[in-house]
Amino acid sequence: MIEVGNTIVSFDVFHKRFLCDLLKCKGECCVSGDSGAPLTEEEAKKIEEIYPLIEPELCETNKHEVEKQGFSIIDSDGDLVTPIVGDGECVYTFVDENGCTKCAIEKLWLEKKVDFRKPVSCHLFPIRITEYEEFDAINYQELDICKCAVDNGREKDVAVWQLLKEPLIRKYGEAWYEDLTVAAEYVEKNNLK
């Protein structure tokens, strides 16, 4: 691991290759999970605020689950998350014409109907951040459901930290990302594992 600002970044973030291939995975990361997407208090409030715009994008089952569970819930680990349906599908998803599960919140953002893209935890996937009092630990989460993304990332030589430039800047800022770029060069030059 290497220190960048007030974060500790796993070497996997620099070494692992990853590039989503939605037509192959069909959005499995929004469907498979034992808990919903981690949320900040501000994100939970924002979702509740824009829910009247989200609701028409959802199927009846998902709408019912939001009515039953609420806009956000506390999971078994005590974390604030999005509610889930069935075996782990986020309630804020829909299935497009290609059979891909997508985020209804992001759809609205892409259509410029809302100013909130989606929870930063989703935007950062496959990075997972653990927040401690003194620092944040930034790790790459390797999942079987993302094998096609790993293969695609290797083929196109896209490192996790490069793929996630936009959400990393969203989370930590431009100056931090510039420092991360310097760290990546240092890790590569010194072949740090």
Read off the pLDDT of residues 143-191 as tens digits, 9 standing for 90 and up: 888 888 889 989 999 999 999 999 999 999 999 999 999 999 998 888 7
What does each C-alpha distance from 126 to 33, 143, 159 come to in angstroms? 13, 8, 11
Q: Which two tokens stand for residue 144?
A: 């079987």
Q: Is the dihedral of CA 76, 80, 91, 36 positive or negative?
A: negative
Residue 127: the pLDDT is 93
Read off the pLDDT of residues 40-66 as tens digits, 9 standing for 90 and up: 999 999 999 999 999 999 999 999 999
Range of the domain at 94: 26-117
Q: Which of 65, 95, 117 corresponds to the end of one domain?
A: 117
Q: Could you give the 3-state DSSP secondary structure of residue 101?
A: strand
Note the pTM of the prediction, 2 decimals. 0.86
Task: Give how many domains the chain has, as a whole number.
Answer: 2
Mark whether 52 and 108 lie in a shared domain.
yes
Cα 56 from chain centroid? 23
Q: Which of 117, 146, 175 corresponds to the end of one domain?
A: 117
